[in-house]
Structure 1
Amino acid sequence: MCEYFIEMVDRLKNHPFADSIKSFILSFEDEELKKYLSFLYLHMPYADIANVDKEVILDYAKSGVNLRNTRCKDLDEDIFLNYVLFHRIGSEKIVANRTFFYDLIKDMLGESETENILKLNYFCGKNVTYRTTDIRTLDPITVYKSSFGRCGEESIFAVSVFRAAGIPARQIYVPLWAHCDDNHAWVEVYVDNDWHYLGACEPEEILDKGWFDDASARSMIVKNI
């Protein structure tokens, strides 16, 4: 059994769901699938272990197997595990979304990963627009179906779409601008062995460009997840 499974069993040895999770993982024959399930449960917040159905996590792991054997064959494993496979982006509700989004965007994907990123962000911008709301951190499928969200929802939606396509992505945010009482979130994607930023659902013709360029340069702190 892979090292992630052994570490997971040790981490969860006193957890009330430990035996159930162990049996669930061992019920599959595919060693790669078991590896990815083990990785997810090893690094999963306890709240997710308690509240997220196993079939939801299975969607992430199955998507990971498919992507690792196709579009992510040559991707560094640490980058793949943490920024393609991993289920959590921020504090959103966790729902099975990888297969859902992949089916929507798979025919858009070509040879150039940079072009794929730009096309996918146009897809995101076409389907979700910015709207202020008191409802926070909606899950990405709800955001897609409602067609609006704040920058936090837009960035979680966009990261979910990129990860579903096998493109490493993460949310970036400024808790507080230095020049005003406000904040913002956007996206970074990993392409050509480096991280590049873009505005979530704010399509541009090139990477590393956004309306927030000057403001973020004056920010007090910038965090990535």
Structure 2
Amino acid sequence: MNYKQFLYAFAFVGLVSCTENKVSDTYKNEVKIALQNAKTNAKTFEKAFQQIPTEQAEGLSFLVANMPQRDLDSLTTEYLLENIDLAYKAKNEFAWARTLPDSIFYNDVLPYTSLNERRDNWRADFYKRFAPKVKDAKDIYEAILAVNQNIMDEVDVVYSTKRPKADQSPYESMECGLASCTGLSVLLTDAFRSVGIPARIAGTPNWTTKVGNHNWVEVYIDGEWKFTEYYYPGQFDDAWFLGDAGKANPNDPKNWIYASSFKKQPYHFPLVWDLSIEYVNAENVTDRYIKLFEAKEAKLAAEKDGKIPVHILLFKDQSCSPGDGRVVQELVVKVDGKEIARGNSAGPQEDMNKFFSFRIEQNAKFTVDFKDERGLTKTKSLKAAKVNEQFRLYVQEL
């Protein structure tokens, strides 16, 4: 043992004697290892255990026991204690949080991070923003809706492929006003957690059905996890991506659906922007999405037998890029002059894989009405030849 190792070992003995009365028996061995790994930053956790109220000590024990090395090296006592205190404040204040199992509270409300994003001190600010929105909520459903309906106005962030990076922290996204699906999911997860709503990020590193990845949010309601999104307030377990998620390949980890976890798990969440990072824990929830999709398909088949899904994208003109050239307009689909579907095309601030979709008999001819650059109705004739076929329409023809 060299001199530096001796000092670490000596310091650790002192830490144990100071903190062992506060460390939960459940996590005692894991906390011991974490304090050894923290090395020169171990004093941070010594102070935290000394100052933490007894009723919050198990929460601190959980965080330290499961904390990645980057946080053992860098977090401060003040940061930890403030985040923990505010999480417990939300737990005691809101009815839906008071009844949570400890395991859910510790893993999906208490943590200060979801993935590998910068560790912002967001909780006090987000509590001030969102606690007034949920104060009159009668149950967790109303609370989730209140957060999701108001988050865009509160944080002023929209989806864009021009965001600086994928793994933005809350304030990095708020500073530029732009975020990827991942950045939006981080914002929404933190907003939920700030008012005691259990939330985590889910996603896939690569769709089975097409090239690309996507991340979204899951919330814990009445003993079950349900998915939602930044742009889907009040909508659970049904979004544009369910058809792709439901076709995930359960035999290939590259195509699994993952759910983030602060607690150590057998798997790690694949971060497509840096696949070398393996400290973000995850559960494999692929089977649940497959079952959700199969249930939806069975229902649709019963209602619309013999029809196939078709998708429409509307662009300003043919020179526009897929990310920024999309136009929001009402589209009207007709067969033999009779309207069969109506809805809005996806705009540049929405996810790249979101479309205006409808179902129609295979090989049926149909028309789509939309407005040209002069505001006049324009009609495009098309044919539904293939399942999940995508048609690109243009406001202005070059």
When the two structures are superposed, what TM-score results if normalisation uses the length of structure 1? 0.90
Range 102-111 or range 27-36, more displaced: 27-36
Q: More relative contact order in 1 or in 2 (CA 8 Å, sep 6+)?
A: 1
Q: Which runs of 5+ in 2 are unaligned?
A: 1-20, 249-254, 261-398
Aligned to 1:6: 28
Partners of 1:25 and 1:38 within 8 A in 2: no
The one of 105, 116, 122 aligned to 2:149 = 122
The one of 148, 155, 170 aligned to 2:200 = 170
The one of 162, 171, 183 aligned to 2:213 = 183
| C-alpha distance in structure 1 between counterparts of 2:27 and 2:45, whole Å | 8
Percent identity over the alignment? 24
Aligned to 1:82: 107
Partners of 1:125 and 1:203 within 8 A in 2: no
Q: Is 1:64 matched up with 2:93?
A: no
Q: Secondary structure at the match of 2:93?
A: coil
The one of 240, 254, 262 aligned to 1:211 = 240
| C-alpha distance in structure 2 between counterparts of 1:147 and 1:13, whole Å | 38
The one-letter code matched in structure 2 to 1:119 is A
| C-alpha distance in structure 2 between counterparts of 1:78 and 1:92, whole Å | 23
Aligned to 1:112: 139
Higher share in strand: 2
| C-alpha distance in structure 2 between counterparts of 1:168 and 1:198, whole Å | 13
The superposition leaves residues 95-137 of structure 1 with CA deviations (integer Å, 9 ceiling, x where unpaired) of 1111110110111111221111122112224432101135131
The one-letter code matched in structure 1 to 2:110 is L
The superposition leaves residues 166-192 of structure 1 with CA deviations (integer Å, 9 ceiling, x where unpaired) of 000010011001222211000100011
| C-alpha distance in structure 2 between counterparts of 1:25 and 1:54, whole Å | 5
Aligned to 1:25: 48
Aligned to 1:42: 65
| C-alpha distance in structure 2 between counterparts of 1:113 and 1:103, whole Å | 18
Aligned to 1:98: 123
> Based on CA coordinates, which of the two structures has the bigger radius of gyration?
2
| C-alpha distance in structure 2 between counterparts of 1:8 and 1:21, whole Å | 16
Q: Secondary structure at the match of 1:157?
A: helix
Q: Which runs of 5+ in 1 are unaligned?
A: none
Query: CA, structure 1 residues 112+145, in 2 after alignment: closer, same or farther (shift >3 Å)?
Result: farther
Higher share in helix: 1
Q: Is 1:222 matched up with 2:249?
A: no
Shift of 1:27: 3.1
Aligned to 2:294: none
Query: CA, structure 1 residues 178+103, in 2 after alignment: closer, same or farther (shift >3 Å)?
Result: same
The one of 163, 166, 184 aligned to 1:136 = 166
Partners of 2:204 and 2:257 within 8 A in 1: yes
Partners of 1:94 and 1:139 within 8 A in 2: yes
Range 138-147 or range 152-161, more displaced: 138-147
When the two structures are superposed, what TM-score results if normalisation uses the length of structure 2? 0.53
Range 26-35 or range 215-224, more displaced: 26-35
